[in-house]
Amino acid sequence: MLAPNVTISSVDWAAAAASLKDAGDGTPAEQFARLNAITGKRLPGVGKSSVPVLLPIDLDALKADADKPEAKTANKYFGLFQPTEYFLPGPAGYSGTYLLEIGGGPFKVSYKKKPIEIEFSGAAFTYNLDGPSREEVFAPKDKDLVAQFPGIRRLLHEAHVRYAFERFGVPYVLSIQCYDRRPSPRFLACREADPIAETFLKRLQVAGGTPQTVDGPKLDLTRPEAKSDFTYYAPGDMIPGSGYKKLPGTVDYHVYAMMRFPIAQAPAYVKSQSFMPWGDCYRTGHNGRIGRKDAPYSCKVNGLPLTFNESAPVNFNYPWRDNFCEYRDFLVGQCAGGRGHQGQDIRPANCVMNNQGSDRCEPYQHSIAAVRDGLIWRLKGNLAAYLILNNANEFVRFRYLHMNPDYMDAEGLLTGRQVSEGEIIGKVATWGDYESGTSYHLHFNIQVMTKSGWVWVNPYMSLVLAYERMIKSRGTELKEGDPLPPVPDKPPVILNPAIVAADKPAAANGAAPSLVKPEAKPEAKPAPQKPRKKIRRYRRKARTETDE
């Protein structure tokens, strides 16, 4: 296990203080303390930032209103860009988001779904990644912007347009989620995001921060001494043929954050959802029929034997297997083909089924926990929930996916909420774009702050260490040629054991056999079967693992 490699920002606080308007006399620390007293009324904690805070703010108007109650609550100081409850300053720098309402300002935007979210970050240290970046770099066309921010770069990376520059020795990055495609009411086009980003950047002013020493991350990678039956394949060692265009995974032994495991209780299993039993082989084709319980089939990419039953013991047993670069359509710079899965799929302890004829697991049987103390970033209705860390050792954020968004809304898992490590924040579910839209699992990601902004990294070894600490014993990495441990029989938990599958041939459409109660009279009608989405349908619908 390796600690991450970082670059510490050498902050020129004297230059930052010299850029302040009407700052007065004194040291940079004294000048920024006076500024923090003003801007901290509207953005509490701004002085915690270890780098100069740049904000799209009208400082003159805020100073004029310094003694008025509205200075603490009004958004008028930010023009079109309304600050959200996600503003997190700290020892690693700061990050925050701002909303632009659809139709706001002079911008011509075809996108109609929801407000456009702009993220802006400044970093006291940035992570240096070993793998490829796959970012596209352009020079901004706006000459005034280039003059205001010498060296600024426009990047297209991982479905975001980003503007990256350095000022006062600090890397800053603006980011807007978008797609490099023609404008559409469903997706924000990057060409439409550019004028928004440029207008935001031109409003930036130095608005806070405090000079302080930044030493950089120090992670304790000590592993438990006791041995266990926990086994795992090496990072990058994916199921054969399961990578994008059959490319291999990325070998990454770095632990990016100290955390507790995201599934509340052990055991749990990092497993592919597409290339194991009940998976649909994700657009790579399959041999045999999918849709009938216990039917044999295989994915064309490797021919490994599978069975159409989500409760198959191999899905709920060791060893773990990396699926970070598994074939998906999502942009992932750290994967060999530039596309991959973005994170790891994790199954909980066991499969709970409705009855003997079921082929899939019931949702909401296992709890999900916050992996650290941190701030939640999530707009109402979004599929994903982020948990953000900003401390002396980590500038990292985690993403949870496939929980029910309606439940998250109802429970207040929304931007601005502070959570504590180990706090239960949801249940393992099957939410793709709708209930039962994916298999029963948690999709878990990690992003770290780089000089190009927030980038997906492989959470595999971070999960291994977190799991070892939860079970208080060390796992064993399986090397090439090692004998595989046998898969123990692990039958599912059946909620309604009295309902069993009748000994009848399957229907012509491949549906599971009808279900009857064994004690029913011959003339009794079959008990109603719970509706089931076909696996081929759910995968098409849940094809985009985006923040929305």
Alpha carbons within 13 angstroms on the beta-carbon side of residue 162 total 23
Residue type, 322: D
Reduced to 3 states, what is the DSSP secondary structure of residue 77?
helix
Reduced to 3 states, what is the DSSP secondary structure of residue 168?
coil
- At 297, the pLDDT band (50, 70, 90 cuts) reads very high
Give the list of residues 6+ apart from residue 44 with CB closer than 8 angstroms, or none: none
Domain boundary assignment for the chain: 5-208, 227-487+537-541
| Contact predicate 20/59, CB 8 Å | no
CATH of domain 227-487+537-541: 2.70.70.10
Compute how many other C-beta atoms are within 10 angstroms of the C-beta atom of residue 358. Answer: 26
pLDDT at 517 over 70: no
User: Sign of torsion, CA 331 332 335 336?
Assistant: positive
Give the Cα separation of 356 and 187 in Å (integer).
42
Residue type, 345: D
DSSP assignment of 382-420 equals: -SEEEEEEESSS-EEEEEEESS-HHHHHHTT--TT-EE-
What was the pLDDT predicted at 308? Answer: 97
- At 21, the pLDDT band (50, 70, 90 cuts) reads confident
What was the pLDDT predicted at 404? Answer: 97
Taking Cα atoms as reference points, which of 107, 190, 117, 203 lies closest to residue 155? 190
Give the Cα separation of 536 and 42 in Å (integer).
50
What was the pLDDT predicted at 23? Answer: 73
Phi, psi angle pair for 131, to nearest 5°: -75, 180
Mean pLDDT (whole number) for 536-542: 38
Mean pLDDT (whole number) for 6-12: 97
| Contact predicate 230/478, CB 8 Å | no
DSSP letter assigned to residue 99: E
Give the Cα separation of 67 and 96 in Å (integer).
25
Query: Which residue carries 């902004």 as its tokens?
Result: 453
Residues 146-193: tens digit of each pLDDT: 999 999 999 999 999 999 999 999 999 999 999 999 999 999 999 999
Mean pLDDT, the chain, whole residue set: 90
Q: Which long-range contacts (CB under 8 A, 24 or more apart) does 14-20 make?
A: 15/168, 16/52, 16/168, 16/206, 16/209, 19/168, 19/206, 20/206
Between strands 136-138 and 125-128, the pairing is unpaired
Residue type, 427: K
- 166-180, 197-211, 494-508: lowest mean pLDDT where? 494-508
Count of all residues that appear for the chain in the document: 548
Structure tokens at 487: 């898969």
Q: Give counts: helices (H), strands (E), the chain.
A: 8, 32
Structure tokens at 357: 């004829």
pLDDT at 446 over 70: yes
**pTM score, two decimals?**
0.91
- At 546, the pLDDT band (50, 70, 90 cuts) reads low
Structure tokens at 324: 């970070």
User: Sign of torsion, CA 289 291 292 297?
Assistant: positive
Reduced to 3 states, what is the DSSP secondary structure of residue 441?
strand
Beta-bridge partner residues of 500: 516
DSSP letter assigned to residue 335: S
Give the Cα separation of 200 and 307 in Å (integer).
53
What was the pLDDT predicted at 501? Answer: 57
DSSP assignment of 12-67 equals: -HHHHHHTSTT--SS-HHHHHHHHHHHHTTTSTTGGG-SSPEEES--HHHHHHTTT
- At 547, the pLDDT band (50, 70, 90 cuts) reads low
